[in-house]
Amino acid sequence: MKAILLHDFGGPSELYVGNVDQPEISTQEILVRIKCSALNRADTLQRKGKYPPPSGASEILGLEMAGEVVSVGESVTKWEIGDRVMGLLSGGGYAQFINIHEDLAMPIPTGFSFEEAAAIPEVFLTAYQALVDLSNLQIGEQVLIHAGASGVGTAAIQLAKSLGAAQVFVTASKAKHELCKSLGADHCIDYRNEDFAKVINDKTNGKGVNVILDFLMAAYFQQNLNAIALDGRLVMLATMGGIQVSEVNLVNILRRRARIIGTTLRSRSHTYKSKLTKGMLELTFDKFETGDLKPVVDRVFDWNDVGKAHQFMEDNKNKGKIILKIGD
């Protein structure tokens, strides 16, 4: 089969379409002809050699896909040849075929294109994991979502509102505020010109937010602690703002009884991912079909332009997901 490969670790120009062996399936797996994959920040790190796949995972980039089942293992009960599926992968999404355990594949909501479906798995599973599984968001609570127009951010804004959050605050560059508002954000903070902790404390009478989804880690650690409410939960998902803090006032961890939770998705066990997939589907599938939740697709790149797609993400130009159309 054809797949996107790397000449060497490095810049976007290292990516090219080449030939590799097609994956084989075990008894509980299905083989999917991938129609679309989608970009994740992690792909850009893996391309640079800074994010090796977990042991046993494909070396090929790509953490999610949407496509059609072309073959099923002998113990598979959930899927038939021809079914339209989407799913989270540990790797291998930038390719024509992928093997995936039947429990990790999800049905594509009625009427969704493969482009739209490929924009769902990683960001909605991450948002579901952070808001439901880890922070246990309650109706009427206040939420702060950093990088509101990121892929994960666009899913998290919608999910938080749909779970009954009272107010959703986001940080994003100004040009992306309109999109965040259209997805349900109540307050958009231009992080380049405003102190988000101050805005939040002003708007909540000093109470702060109950749940924070953070991707910046070191850069926002102090402000996050300044903005967290009593019994608040700070979920850390990425290190986009660095990992070293030289001076930080930790007192709010104690005074506000804050909980700090770090998480990853790719390296989780099969059992955990299956449970997460099932829970996310139960909560969201009908909402996708009714249009209450929607994947946000910024643009679709042909896989021959994968380098341009990576550059687009690294320039922070995307609002929502960047899709890769997998060719013949």
Ligand X SMILES: NC(=O)c1ccc[n+]([C@@H]2O[C@H](COP(=O)([O-])OP(=O)(O)OC[C@H]3O[C@@H](n4cnc5c(N)ncnc54)[C@H](OP(=O)(O)O)[C@@H]3O)[C@@H](O)[C@H]2O)c1
Q: Could you say which of 69, 100, 217, 237 contacts ligand X (CB under 6 A)?
A: 237
Q: Is 122 a residue that touches ligand X (CB under 6 A)?
A: yes
Query: Is-contact 196 144, C-beta < 8 A?
Result: yes
DSSP letters, 210-232, are EEEEES-GGGGHHHHHHHEEEEE
User: Nearest to ligand X by Cβ — which residue?
Assistant: 150
Q: Is 90 a residue that touches ligand X (CB under 6 A)?
A: no
Instruction: Using alpha carbons, select from 275, 274, 294 the residue that is nearest to residue 284.
Output: 294
Provide the minimum distance between the beta carbon of 19 and ligand X in the complex, in angstroms, as a whole number: 28
**CB nearer to ligand X: pick between 101 and 319:** 319
Q: Is 171 a residue that touches ligand X (CB under 6 A)?
A: yes
Q: Is 273 a residue that touches ligand X (CB under 6 A)?
A: no
Residues 71, 221: Cα–Cα separation, whole Å: 47
**CB nearer to ligand X: pick between 69 and 322:** 322
Token pair 């989608």 in the structure block, residue: 38
Stretch near ligand X under the rule CB under 6 A, chosen from 39-47, 91-99, 113-121, 133-141: 39-47
Question: Taking the CB of residue 315, how many other CB atoms lie within 10 A of it?
Answer: 8
The pair of structure tokens assigned to 21 is 């062996």
Residues 1, 62: Cα–Cα separation, whole Å: 15
As a residue count, the chain comes to 328
Q: Is 42 a residue that touches ligand X (CB under 6 A)?
A: yes
Q: Is 264 a residue that touches ligand X (CB under 6 A)?
A: yes
Stretch near ligand X under the rule CB under 6 A, chosen from 64-72, 148-156, 201-209, 242-250: 148-156
The pair of structure tokens assigned to 261 is 């939770």
> Angle between the 121-128 and 151-162 helix axes, to the nearest 10 degrees?
50
Q: Is 311 a residue that touches ligand X (CB under 6 A)?
A: no
Q: Could you say which of 172, 199, 211, 293 contacts ligand X (CB under 6 A)?
A: 172
Distance linking the first and last C-alpha atoms of the chain: 9
Provide the minimum distance between the beta carbon of 121 and ligand X in the complex, in angstroms, as a whole number: 10
- The single-letter code of the amino acid at 239 is T
Q: Could you say which of 97, 169, 191, 288 contacts ligand X (CB under 6 A)?
A: 191
Tell me which residues touch ligand X (CB under 6 A): 40-42, 122-123, 126, 146-147, 149-152, 171-173, 176, 191, 215-216, 219, 237-238, 240-241, 263-265, 313, 316, 318
